[in-house]
Amino acid sequence: MARTQVGIVGAGPAGLLLSYLLHAEGIDAVVIEARSREYVERRVRAGVCEHPTVELLREIGVGARLDAEGLPHHGFSLRFDGEDHRIALTELTGKAITVYGQQEIVKDLIAAHEAKGYPVEFEVSDVALHDLDTEDPRVTYRDSAGNRRELVCDVVAGCDGFHGISRPSIPAGAIRTFEREYPFAWLGVLARTAPSHEELIYAYHERGFALHSMRSPEITRLYLQVPHDEKIDAWPDEEIWSELALRLETGDERFSLREGPILDKGITPMRSFVTEPMRYGRLFLAGDAAHIVPPTGAKGMNLAVADVTVLSRALVELLRYNRSGLAESYSDTCLKRVWRAEHFSWYMTSMLHVDPAADDFGRRLQLSQLRYTASSRAAATSLAENYVGLPFA
| 111 domain-assigned | yes
Say what the pLDDT of residue 156 is: 98
How far is it, in rounded angstroms, from Cα 294 to Cα 290? 14
The answer on 144 and 63 residing in a single domain is yes
| 114 domain-assigned | yes
Determine if residue 214 is left, alpha or beta; phi over 0 gives left, psi from -120 to 50 gives alpha, anything else beta. beta
How far is it, in rounded angstroms, from Cα 220 to Cα 161? 26
Asked whether the CA dihedral 322, 326, 331, 337 is positive or negative, the reply is: negative
Say what the pLDDT of residue 252 is: 74
The answer on 145 and 65 residing in a single domain is yes
How far is it, in rounded angstroms, from Cα 375 to Cα 149? 60
Split into its structural domains, the chain has a count of 2
Per DSSP, the residues of 2-30 read EEEEEEEE--SHHHHHHHHHHHHTT--EE
The answer on 359 and 330 residing in a single domain is no
DSSP reduced 3-state for 86: strand
The answer on 202 and 125 residing in a single domain is no
What are the residue ranges of helices labelled H in 193-254? 237-248
The answer on 175 and 44 residing in a single domain is yes
The answer on 138 and 62 residing in a single domain is yes
| 17 domain-assigned | yes
| 79 domain-assigned | no
Say what the pLDDT of residue 145 is: 96
How far is it, in rounded angstroms, from Cα 197 to Cα 125? 43
The answer on 53 and 194 residing in a single domain is no
Say what the pLDDT of residue 37 is: 97
How far is it, in rounded angstroms, from Cα 228 to Cα 240? 17
What is the CA angle 173-161-101, rounded to 5?
A: 155
Nearest residue to 250 via CA among 192, 201, 187: 201
Say what the pLDDT of residue 33 is: 98
The answer on 195 and 48 residing in a single domain is no
| 245 domain-assigned | yes
Give this prediction's pTM: 0.95
Residues noted as catalytic: 73, 202, 295, 299, 387
Q: In the chain, which residues have pLDDT < 50? A: none
Asked whether the beta carbons of 74 and 124 are under 8 A apart, the reply is: no
Domain span at residue 254? 182-270+355-388
Q: What is the CATH number of the domain that holds 142?
A: 3.50.50.60
| 34 domain-assigned | yes
The answer on 20 and 160 residing in a single domain is yes
The answer on 191 and 307 residing in a single domain is no
6 has which bridge partners? 29, 155
What distances in angstroms separate CA 261 from CA 167, 240, 264, 343, one per listed residue? 39, 12, 9, 36
| 85 domain-assigned | no
40 CB-near residues (< 8 Å, 6+ apart): 11, 12, 33, 103, 106, 110, 122
How far is it, in rounded angstroms, from Cα 222 to Cα 92? 26
DSSP reduced 3-state for 225: strand
What's the alpha-carbon Rg for the chain, to the nearest Å? 21
Q: What is the CATH number of the domain that holds 381?
A: 3.30.9.10
The answer on 258 and 125 residing in a single domain is no
The answer on 33 and 67 residing in a single domain is yes
| 276 domain-assigned | yes
Report which secondary-structure segment, H or E, holds 139: strand 138-142
